[in-house]
Amino acid sequence: MLARRRMWGWAAIWATLAINSATAAPVSVTWTTTGNAGNETSVTATVTGANVSAIPLTRGAGLGPNAGTNSFNSNGWTGEATDYVQFGISIDPGFQATLNTVSFSRQASSTGPGTMGLFSSLDNFTTAITTFSSGTSAASISIPLSSLGTVTGDVTLRLFAIGTTSASGGTTAAGGTFRVINPTLTGEVSVIPQAPAHETAPEPTTMWTLAVLGVFALVFRLRRRWVPCVA
């Protein structure tokens, strides 16, 4: 009976692992800026995959909109805490995600910020995931996000200017701009694993009771097997 219960226990464990593994699925989120004027207040995203929704592409309160065809363009990069561009995802309850990469094209004006940093809400935007040069010509970049580990709930990414050096080597000016073009976030979403059902360990008092009963049962069996010799 015990062996059978153990067999079913292992079966439940393997079934749970199989179900959890089978639910992993790729997801891709793209904030399309192609066709935009550049000075939109926000850009919504197209999500390919399930159990994830998108946080719109927006500016922090310290930045202003700026025209820039086929992009999301911003001015006002003066180094304030509210000078950022952000976007992200919201993962449904009961699910988790591993983020692979975020990719986009970027371009600054000659007086726009020369170096940008990518930060995440996971540490309250404290430490840059990476930094990169802006450049005055549009160029693509792909940033690995494996360092974020497995994530749940809302995950927001922000782009901040680093330092005061402009893209042309001078000093960043308030009228300088930085534009983001078609950011795309990729990853995989899976069900949060659930611990398989298992037998609850008995309380110490119960264990002692079982031990005593076991001793009595052993003595009883031995007495039944023992046959006294008749003189």
What is the C-alpha separation between 40 and 2, in angstroms, rounded? Answer: 67
The amino acid present at 33, given as its one-letter code, is: T
Helix (H, G, I), strand (E, B) or coil at 169: coil
**For the segment 34-71, what is each residue's pLDDT rounded down to a tens digit?**
999 999 999 999 999 999 999 999 999 999 999 999 99
Helix (H, G, I), strand (E, B) or coil at 231: coil
State the DSSP H helix or E strand holding residue 111, giving kind and residue range, or none if neither: none
pLDDT band at 15; cut points 50, 70, 90: very low
Could you give all domains of the chain from N- to C-terminal order, each with its CATH number? 10-191 (2.60.120)
Instruction: Give one DSSP letter per residue of 29-87, joined into a string.
Output: EE---TT--S--SEE--EEESSSEEEEEEEE-TT-EE---TTSEEEE--SS-TT-EEEE
> Is the confidence at residue 124, as pLDDT, over 50?
yes
Provide the pLDDT for residue 195: 73
Q: 223 is written with which tokens? A: 């007495």
Provide the pLDDT for residue 199: 47
**For the segment 146-196, what is each residue's pLDDT rounded down to a tens digit?**
999 999 999 999 999 999 999 999 999 999 999 999 999 999 999 999 876
* Phi, psi dihedral angles at 156 (to 5 degrees): -115, 135
State the DSSP H helix or E strand holding residue 139, giving kind and residue range, or none if neither: strand 139-144
**For the segment 202-220, what is each residue's pLDDT rounded down to a tens digit?**
555 544 444 445 544 544 4
The amino acid present at 6, given as its one-letter code, is: R
Q: What angle do CA 188, 194, 196 make, to 5 degrees?
A: 135
Segment 128-143 shows an average pLDDT of 98
Provide the pLDDT for residue 10: 47
> Is the confidence at residue 12, as pLDDT, over 80?
no
Q: Which has the closest alpha carbon to 151: 91, 194, 94, 193?
A: 91
- List beta partners, residue 178: 74, 108
2: left (phi over 0), alpha (psi -120 to 50) or beta: alpha
**For the segment 73-123, what is each residue's pLDDT rounded down to a tens digit?**
999 999 999 999 999 999 999 999 999 999 999 999 999 999 999 999 999
pLDDT band at 2; cut points 50, 70, 90: very low
Provide the pLDDT for residue 197: 60
On whether the CB atoms of residues 96 and 90 are closer than 8 A, the answer is no
Choose the weakest-confidence range: 17-26, 103-112, 216-225: 216-225
